[in-house]
Structure 1
Amino acid sequence: MISAVCWDEIANPGAWSGRSLMKAYRYFLIFLMFSAAVSGAEAADFVVKDIQVEGLQRISAGTVFNYLPVQVGSTVSEKDYPELIRALFKTGFFADVNLERRDNVLVVTVTERPAIAEVKITGNKDISTDDLKKALTGVGLAEGRVFDRSLLDKVEQELLQQYYSRGRYGVRIKSGMQALERNRVAITIDIAEGEVASINRINIVGNKAFSDKQLLKELQLSTSGWFSFFTKDDQYSKQKLAADLETLRSFYLDRGYLKFNVESTQVSITPDKQDVYITINVSEGEPYILDNAQLAGEFGVVPQEDLRKLITLEAGETFSRAKMTEIAKKMGDRLGEEGYSFANINTVPQVDDEHKKVALTFVVDPGKRVYVRRVNFQGNTKTQDEVLRREVRQMEGGWVSTKDLDRSKTRLQRLDYLESVNVEMPAVPGTNDQVDVNYTIVERSSNSLMFGIGYGQESGLLLNASLTQNNFLGTGNQLGIVFNNSDIGQNYNISFNNPYYTLDGVSLGFRLYYRDIESSKLNTANYIQNVFGGQVTFGFPLNEFDTLRLSPGYEHIWIDTTKDTPTEILDYLARNGDSYDQFKLDASWAHDTRDRALFPTSGGLSQVAAEIALPGSTAEYYKLNYRGIVYFPFTRWLTWSVGGEIGYGDGYGNTDGVPFFENFYAGGLRSVRGYKANTLGPRYSNDEPSGGVFKTVASTQFILPVPFIEKAENVRVATFFDIGNVFGSVDAFDVSELRYSAGLAGIWVSPFGPIVLSVAAPLNAKSGDKKEYFQFSFGIPFN
């Protein structure tokens, strides 16, 4: 110890003597040695005999031991502490970490971060709470996770981006935290969504060859219009603008402007966050023409001439990137049909800037021919593999054909009992020329037994009991047992069909039925029709798209009259009797290229049908009918369809004309909407509709996106224009007698049956026509 005398001498240097200096120096050395000894003892390494963790509440000690890079038996010194602390901080579990040594025990003292007990979001309407929570989970904020206060800033930014993408630039988000017991917190997020900002104007600067109107029509973004409520095209988003800029480039490149460039874009928002202004500055350059187009490379087993025929470009025409890309695609598809699924078609341009010409060379690299090892199905819990496999045109062991793959997917999609089909082709591990074809399907849920009540303006109240199964026991067979009792009468029906009665796809089915119908309830003449019969149906596939059906059958018809039955019917029954035994043959040919059976968006259906009462029947007659419809997909969300139907009938042998109970009718949901069902055309003397022997109906529709529904596989909404009528004979046809209507229609295939709605306005109704602006049916088939 340094004595008090020594401290005095040190504190008063003027009193120091030589002896005092030596004594002070000696004590100073002793002090330094003592401090060094103490410091060395504290920093000395030690072997960890045990590790103790203090301060844990929810996290287990094992979790700490797992992340701590030290274990019992390790040698540790104080200089290692920072590294150990950093390792525990990286877990994100702790707000504070301290280390200390107690003898040879390493003591870890931690303060846990609180856990998130609840995330409460208020004020949101445009985006659901579930969707917002999914977005928050992406940045690490979710119930049960460890809370980090720095996350709140990330949360607000993420939510802002979610709302900005929907055009709500005035959104305000306030987040907060409330401490709870047991080291937990509740996160509150209050959202003021604000109004949706709409695009007020889009300016394109620098365009000379094409007008603003031409260019703006190509863009996805637009100013507010009639359909903006559905399409949201007036809501700005960065992704949409980027897509539109690429659309502009494609527009110019498809018209030969190789040097086109988007120089800059400016997006501005008004201070009130309500209006968005977009300016796009472009440099057009000059158009280039095609000099020549050549073919080079290897062609596999595909004849070179087959690929050369696909080059439809001619020297001197304006260069088009779209045509160039389409030719390369067709070449790839042609090679894909022969098994070269991974062929590369590289288009090499040679640009002559001086003469503004482009020479193209299509370089073909077919690669290896690829074979299918296995065709697999996933997701078919009900349907047997064999039922799906028989629809597949891509065979195992053969080379991959893109044409067969596409056709296989379409055939599967058209099965009534499948909701969706997805196909993948993973490579077989260890090979470079084999793939597996994996079909992932989603089956439709269907109730085999149903009791229900329906109502239709054409049929009135409908009591329904049915056993219907389009995929009976997973075999793909159709079974139906139907009992209907409505205001118009009774209908009992049992049917069965095996679509693959033979391996070649010949179908066989039968139908037994009984109907007792009071025709006046159908808005036709007043009489009662009682029918029972049976029919056998054979279907013969002629190729992938054409089917021939033959249905021989027999039915017995008995007609009863009432006091209000028209005179014309009474006279007919007096001449021909009220009981009819009919030996019938129905025949039809159909050409079907639709992409799916329910709610198609591309392709078409053409069907020619004939119904013949064979010689020996009480009434000998025939009816011919043509029905066709074509679908044109305009965009991802808009489809245009055009369809029509023509029917004609006449008698032969001893029968004069078609029996009155086999006449054609028009009006209602299934023909010209806006007019009461079956009321168009000729009339009896008592002013009741009589129908006719010649029918012509046409309709065009724009199928629209369904608002507020992201997945609308079972819902369809369309605007339509209908035209048609029926006539007593072909000679009686008169264009001026056709009726028109326009309106909006919707169909929902609900679990309880189809619901069909129509709001239509007759456009040229005449005196005596029965108009019906709103029409609907529930629980009644619509096709």
Structure 2
Amino acid sequence: MSFRRKFSLARRVMPLVLTAFLAPGLANAFTPFVVKDIRVEGVQRVDVGTIFSYLPVKVGQEFTEQQAADAIQRLYATGFFSDVTIDTQNDVIVVAVKERPTIASVTFNGMRAFDAEGLNKALGSVGFGPGRVFDRALLEQAEFQLKQEYLSQGKYGVEVTPIITPLPRNRVGVTFDIFEGDVATISQINFVGNKAFSAGDLRDEMSLTTGGIMTWYTGTNKYSREKLEGDLEAIRSFYLDRGYLEFTMEPPQVTISPDRQSIFITITLNEGEPYKVRSVKLAGELLGLDDQIRPLIQVKENETFSAAVSNASVKSITDYLGSLGYAFANVNPNPQLDREAKEADLTFYVDPGRRVYVRRIQIGGNTRTRDVVVRREMRQQESAWYDSSSIKESRDRIDRLGYFSELNVDAAPVPGSSDQVDINVDVKEKPTGLINLGVGYGSTDKVILSAGISQENIFGSGNSLSLQVNTSKTNRTLVVAHTDPYWTTEGISKTTSLYYRRTTPYDTGSGDRGDYRVTAYGGGLNFGVPISEYDRVFAGATFEHNKLELYDPPQAYTDFTNEYGDSTNAVIFNLGWAKDTRDSAIAPRKGSYTRLGTDFSTADLRYYMLSGQQQYYFPLGRSFTLALNAKVDWARSYGSKTFPVIKNMYAGGLGSVRGYEGASLGPRDVRTGDYLGGSRRMIANAQLYLPFPGATRDRTLRWFVFADAGQIANTGGGACATGIRNQVEDPCGWRYSAGLGLSWESPMGPLEISWGKALNAKSGDDLQAFQFQIGTGF
């Protein structure tokens, strides 16, 4: 007997029509028989055993008409084959298949907005990718998925063209030619239904904006579905923070112009009315800690409800429970509304969960930085009770290292255990090397150039190495420094430094030599001992050699050589204390920094110096930061000699009182008029950082306004020389300045431009208005 039927039906309709189509043709031509053998033809990649596993019959069993229909249906359903034929001859079943091609590779031409790995992941979600069976229906889904990825980025003009290239061994290469087009920009953002707040107030809560003078840089006028969803949540939070508990918002209407270049967004709101808090209660499993938990609730009765204050209370309670080992405590605020009175009864339901301890701390993402550099900053210990306060402190310490652009610390339950968690510390490293380039200009010092190279995390060890060079018409400095922050396992730091400094003051008739030249070189060794998480004591010593060359010198330097000679040595001991609670050492927004220190010099130069500095940083809302700085230095000689003029302190210009020439404040020499500095210095600065217009909340671009004050004078009743023929009026008096500037984390590195105006300049003062500085990371 013989049977042969061939079917080439589409896979998606095969299960519905195959049996109905096959059965009538088999009815008169097919008689059941016992199978002697089964052969498979046409396979290239699919294993023969795979085909046997889908057949409903084996050798020695009876083969029926229904089994023939089932066999073909099963093989088609695998998706491996585009054609299946079953032939029977002399009680032998011959299964002939034609395999679908396999996707060998997926590539993208013209793609700039995404990386290939990300798009391949998106295509994998619809079953399309290398190693998968090629299917035209899946190709259409892949093309649709690619367009959706681009639409989510606001690229409505995207065009995707697939190109299929046959390859040997029944494979194909798939290339998507992509024309991305331009991102559609937002032309209008409209609000409907807002009565309590203006559209401008609501737009201020959004990161997306219409076009502005800086949107070419920020890109905030380019539509993104994800950003819009985030903005809608920001608006919802804005209303809930102001008591609008019944606030609702309809899905936004997003329309696009016919040329696919402009986006119009309409947001419809239902504000409701603001609610006041009538009562505040605690409920749930409180572990007998009612008296400790209740003060953590910041919500007050008879005040307007605020979701922000409620959430802050939730965080305070969960943090407190977390510090006791309850890592997964859940606190749920539940307001019960009295719609007639517009009041809410707020109940905090507390579920502490189980108390857990930390099994393991795992560091990830650090390709260059050694694990120990991160691990030694951890204050949460393994095999100890979970402590959220220690984990937060650990996170802050790791962040203050400045080695990572992203940092995430979270707790993950240990599978199969109800009382253990693992702490996962995931970091993303950033360049920690820096090349600094600085340019300044002053009426006296002319062009000032500075350069430096530093590596804060050399070889991933956490050590820092730096080289600084400064040169101008009057000063040249070379400093090499190395710091090991963990010289001992207890956290004692060691800093070794070598320096060379040459000062050639302003030319008053002696040619290129200047009036005199002071050359100093030396080396120092300093140690820092931590006494708390934020406090550190410093101690060390420096050896310094000074050589003085006189050409047409100021009278003060002639007097110095007569008293000390033209070559001196000094051993300078230092002792100090510092406290640092800033959230960032580079661009802090909150916290403070305090430093007190003293220097004590022996050998040829005998003097002591006391110094103190205090900084405060206050966040004013989400976009403003107020920075305050005060610094005082006071020095005096001991023994029978006067204070060495070569150790005088200076102020004016960058880092002190902007608007005045660098180092120009204080006494002037009576013979040459040179800047002499003084043995007492006081400086105060206030600086307010503001978001740049059009840049919304982008903190990489900010402008600032500042006010500076400073004074240079002499201690111990020292005279305040006014220079040649009293050329400067009140040189030891206070000087004030104010101005504005721009700070930008540019692609080439941090850039700062400032302009300062002297507010109370006296006759004879030298002024400097403009400063410019840029750095480059590598």
Shift of 1:44: 0.7
1:347–1:417 CA distance, 2 compared to 1 (3 A): closer
- For the pair 1:314 / 2:300, whether they are aligned, the reply is yes
- Give the structure 2 partner of residue 584 of structure 1: 572
- Give the structure 1 partner of residue 381 of structure 2: 395
Q: Note if contact 1:674-1:760 (Cα within 8 Å) is conserved in structure 2.
A: no
Shift of 1:606: 0.7
- For the pair 1:537 / 2:526, whether they are aligned, the reply is yes
- Give the structure 1 partner of residue 74 of structure 2: 87
What amino acid sits opposite 2:265 in the alignment?
I
Per-residue CA deviation, residues 206-232 of structure 1 (Å, 9 max, x unaligned), is 222222222222233322223433443
Alpha-carbon distance in structure 1 between the residues aligned to 2:420 and 2:222: 47
Per-residue CA deviation, residues 459-482 of structure 1 (Å, 9 max, x unaligned), is 869798x9x8857896x6x48697
2:336 match: secondary structure: strand
* Equivalent of residue 283 in structure 2, options 296, 304, 307: 296
- Give the structure 1 partner of residue 635 of structure 2: 650
Per-residue CA deviation, residues 384-439 of structure 1 (Å, 9 max, x unaligned), is 77765543322344321111111122223434667765434333444322323344
Structure of higher RCO (CA pairs closer than 8 Å, 6+ residues apart): 2
Consecutive unaligned residues of structure 2, counting only runs of 5 or more, are: 1-23, 441-447, 715-729
- Give the structure 2 partner of residue 338 of structure 1: 324
Which stretch shows the higher mean deviation, 346-355 or 227-236?
227-236
Alpha-carbon distance in structure 2 between the residues aligned to 1:383 and 1:651: 45
- Give the structure 1 partner of residue 724 of structure 2: none
Q: Note if contact 1:602-1:633 (Cα within 8 Å) is conserved in structure 2.
A: no
Q: Note if contact 2:435-2:775 (Cα within 8 Å) is conserved in structure 1.
A: no
TM-score by length of structure 1 reads 0.77
Alpha-carbon distance in structure 1 between the residues aligned to 2:26 and 2:424: 73
1:534–1:277 CA distance, 2 compared to 1 (3 A): closer
Alpha-carbon distance in structure 2 between the residues aligned to 1:84 and 1:106: 11
1:239 match: secondary structure: helix
- Give the structure 1 partner of residue 721 of structure 2: none
TM-score by length of structure 2 reads 0.78
2:210 match: secondary structure: coil
Alpha-carbon distance in structure 2 between the residues aligned to 1:111 and 1:249: 57
Query: Which residues of 2 match residues 105-184 of structure 1 at below 5 A?
Result: 105-116=92-103, 119=106, 121-127=108-114, 131-143=118-130, 145-179=132-166, 183-184=170-171
Q: Note if contact 1:640-1:703 (Cα within 8 Å) is conserved in structure 2.
A: no
Q: Note if contact 1:673-1:741 (Cα within 8 Å) is conserved in structure 2.
A: no
1:759–1:688 CA distance, 2 compared to 1 (3 A): farther
Query: Which residues of 2 match residues 642-721 of structure 1 at below 5 A?
Result: 642-653=627-638, 654=640, 656=642, 659-668=645-654, 690-691=676-677, 693-694=680-681, 695-701=683-689, 719-721=703-705
Per-residue CA deviation, residues 244-284 of structure 1 (Å, 9 max, x unaligned), is 33333332222222222225643222222222222222222
Q: State how many pairs are aligned.
A: 717
Shift of 1:293: 1.0
Which stretch shows the higher mean deviation, 688-697 or 194-203?
688-697
1:325–1:147 CA distance, 2 compared to 1 (3 A): same
1:414–1:68 CA distance, 2 compared to 1 (3 A): farther
Alpha-carbon distance in structure 2 between the residues aligned to 1:391 and 1:63: 55
- Give the structure 2 partner of residue 550 of structure 1: 539
Alpha-carbon distance in structure 1 between the residues aligned to 2:745 and 2:458: 27
1:218 match: secondary structure: coil
- Give the structure 2 partner of residue 361 of structure 1: 347
* Equivalent of residue 502 in structure 2, options 494, 517, 525: 517
What amino acid sits opposite 1:203 in the alignment?
N
Q: Note if contact 2:712-2:733 (Cα within 8 Å) is conserved in structure 1.
A: no
- Give the structure 2 partner of residue 9 of structure 1: none
Query: Which residues of 2 match residues 218-297 of structure 1 at below 5 A?
Result: 218-263=205-250, 265-297=252-284
2:234 match: secondary structure: helix
- For the pair 1:729 / 2:713, whether they are aligned, the reply is yes
What amino acid sits opposite 1:155 in the alignment?
A
Which stretch shows the higher mean deviation, 408-417 or 164-173?
408-417
Query: Which residues of 2 match residues 741-760 of structure 1 at below 5 A?
Result: 741-746=740-745, 757-760=751-754
- Give the structure 1 partner of residue 562 of structure 2: 574
Shift of 1:365: 2.6
Structure (1 or 2) with the larger CA radius of gyration: 1
2:153 match: secondary structure: coil
Shift of 1:381: 8.2
Alpha-carbon distance in structure 2 between the residues aligned to 1:283 and 1:463: 57
Alpha-carbon distance in structure 2 between the residues aligned to 1:221 and 1:756: 25
- For the pair 1:305 / 2:291, whether they are aligned, the reply is yes
Alpha-carbon distance in structure 2 between the residues aligned to 1:761 and 1:600: 20
Q: Note if contact 1:51-1:72 (Cα within 8 Å) is conserved in structure 2.
A: no
Aligned-residue sequence identity (percent) comes to: 33
Q: Note if contact 1:758-1:774 (Cα within 8 Å) is conserved in structure 2.
A: yes
- Give the structure 2 partner of residue 738 of structure 1: 737
Q: Note if contact 1:174-1:190 (Cα within 8 Å) is conserved in structure 2.
A: yes
Which stretch shows the higher mean deviation, 733-742 or 267-276?
733-742
2:277 match: secondary structure: strand
- Give the structure 2 partner of residue 6 of structure 1: none
Alpha-carbon distance in structure 2 between the residues aligned to 1:481 and 1:267: 53
- Give the structure 2 partner of residue 31 of structure 1: none
Shift of 1:688: 5.7
- Give the structure 2 partner of residue 3 of structure 1: none
Which stretch shows the higher mean deviation, 425-434 or 270-279?
425-434
Alpha-carbon distance in structure 2 between the residues aligned to 1:608 and 1:163: 53
1:117–1:292 CA distance, 2 compared to 1 (3 A): closer
- Give the structure 2 partner of residue 49 of structure 1: 37
Per-residue CA deviation, residues 443-465 of structure 1 (Å, 9 max, x unaligned), is 78989xxxx9986658869798x
What amino acid sits opposite 1:547 in the alignment?
R
Alpha-carbon distance in structure 1 between the residues aligned to 2:505 and 2:56: 90
- Give the structure 2 partner of residue 559 of structure 1: 547
Q: Note if contact 2:436-2:450 (Cα within 8 Å) is conserved in structure 1.
A: yes
1:339 match: secondary structure: coil
Q: Note if contact 1:53-1:61 (Cα within 8 Å) is conserved in structure 2.
A: no
1:116–1:762 CA distance, 2 compared to 1 (3 A): farther
1:383–1:463 CA distance, 2 compared to 1 (3 A): closer
1:150–1:508 CA distance, 2 compared to 1 (3 A): closer
* Equivalent of residue 63 in structure 2, options 68, 73, 76: 76
Alpha-carbon distance in structure 1 between the residues aligned to 2:513 and 2:751: 22
Consecutive unaligned residues of structure 1, counting only runs of 5 or more, are: 1-35
2:713 match: secondary structure: coil
Q: Note if contact 1:600-1:631 (Cα within 8 Å) is conserved in structure 2.
A: no
What amino acid sits opposite 1:403 in the alignment?
S
Per-residue CA deviation, residues 48-98 of structure 1 (Å, 9 max, x unaligned), is 5232222x4455545545665665556533422343333333443322222
Per-residue CA deviation, residues 678-701 of structure 1 (Å, 9 max, x unaligned), is 577776675765555424445444
1:386–1:274 CA distance, 2 compared to 1 (3 A): closer
- Give the structure 2 partner of residue 22 of structure 1: none
Per-residue CA deviation, residues 19-39 of structure 1 (Å, 9 max, x unaligned), is xxxxxxxxxxxxxxxxx9995
What amino acid sits opposite 1:556 in the alignment?
E
Q: Note if contact 1:123-1:190 (Cα within 8 Å) is conserved in structure 2.
A: yes
Shift of 1:651: 2.1
